[in-house]
Amino acid sequence: MVHALELTDIGRRFGALHAVRNVSLTVPSGQRHAILGPNGAGKTTLFNLVCGDFPPTSGRVVAFGEDMTRRPASHRARIGIGRTYQTSLLFTGLTVIDNLLIAIRGARKGRLSLVPSASNGQDIRDATVLAERVRLAHRAHHEVATLSHGQRRQLELGMALACKPRLLMLDEPAAGLSPAERPELNQMLKDLPGEITLVLIEHDMDVALPISDMVTVMKDGEIVVQETPDRITDNPIVNKIYLGQGHG
């Protein structure tokens, strides 16, 4: 069976800092996989290695059976890896629809086209549907710079979904959201089609656990626990990491 993601002994050093060390992880297709851990555990670095922001100093990254270790970030998007960022990285000078259009066309041929593509009308319809799906239809023609933080997080998700990803990697999608905005995000994540493999970094267990099939906990750049969500909260190592020595 071809897995969505296979990491083998992956590591990354930044000078003397060993941010990620010997991480091996397999995510089967269709699985919802949460990655938890305290600040500085190496979760986002791991994401950046998978998504090609920088190469690993050791190990291999394989996605859908293809070795991605030295491939550029742009190639990963084209084979169906979509991602969001911990801090929203959007095109703030453009409208919501334009952001979604860019995201839709990124994984297709003709993205360098100097004339409006034949699929222009379809692209705009797809972008409009996506804007509705992430509850931004009413802001579709507004500049991103005018959106609230929560709306920016919704747009982040819409852009990650725009390339019709097979593997969706969400880096703290609930970061900075108010309690009132979180249920909407939870619902959007629950509504994701079952065939999309989801890898999620999240501090908020209330967001991560209800939608996860498997949970990996990292600390100091290493995997320390891998469990199903119903058993993770009882794990003494996890309690020690999250609640302190007395709870271990």
Partner 1 sequence: MTLARTLLLTGTAGLGILCLVPLALFLALPENQALFWIGNILARALIYGIIALSLTFLATYGGFVSLAQMMVAGIAGYVLAMTVQGAVPVIIGGFGYPMAILMALLASVLAGLAVGAIAVRTNDIYLLMITLALAVGFYRFVESNIDLFNGYEGIRNVLGPDILGRRFRDPMVFYTIASGTALLLYLGVLFLVRTPFGLALQGIRDNPRRISALGYNVVLHRIVAFGIAGFIAGCGGVLATIYNIGISPGSIGLGATINLLIMSVVGGLGHPVGAFVGSLIFAIFDTFAASLYDRDRFNSLIGAVFLVIVLISPDGALGLSRRLGRLLRGKPKPGAPPA
Q: Which residues bind partner 1 (CB under 8 A)?
A: 51-53, 72-78, 83, 85, 89-94, 98-99, 101-103, 105-108, 110-117, 159, 162-163
How far from the centroid of its chain's Cα atoms is residue 15's Cα?
26
Q: Which is nearer to partner 1, 98 or 213 (CB)?
A: 98
Q: Which is nearer to partner 1, 4 or 97 (CB)?
A: 97
Beta carbons within 8 Å of 100's beta carbon, 6+ residues apart: 126, 127, 130, 131, 155, 158, 159, 162
Q: In the chain, where does DSSP find H-type helix?
A: 43-51, 73-78, 96-106, 120-133, 149-162, 182-190, 205-208, 229-232, 236-243
Q: Which is nearer to partner 1, 37 or 80 (CB)?
A: 80
Q: Which is nearer to partner 1, 97 or 232 (CB)?
A: 97
DSSP 143: B
| Closest separation in Å from C-beta 58 to partner 1 | 23
| Closest separation in Å from C-beta 111 to partner 1 | 5
Do the beta carbons of residue 41 and residue 35 sit within 8 Å?
Answer: no
| Closest separation in Å from C-beta 109 to partner 1 | 10
In sequence order, what are the beta bridge partners of 95? 143
| Closest separation in Å from C-beta 96 to partner 1 | 13
In sequence order, what are the beta bridge partners of 27? 5
| Closest separation in Å from C-beta 100 to partner 1 | 11
Closest CA to 122 of 138, 134, 110: 110
In whole angstroms, give the CA distance from residue 191 to residue 212.
Answer: 13
Q: Which is nearer to partner 1, 30 or 106 (CB)?
A: 106
Q: Which is nearer to partner 1, 24 or 74 (CB)?
A: 74
Length of the chain (residues): 248
| Closest separation in Å from C-beta 193 to partner 1 | 20
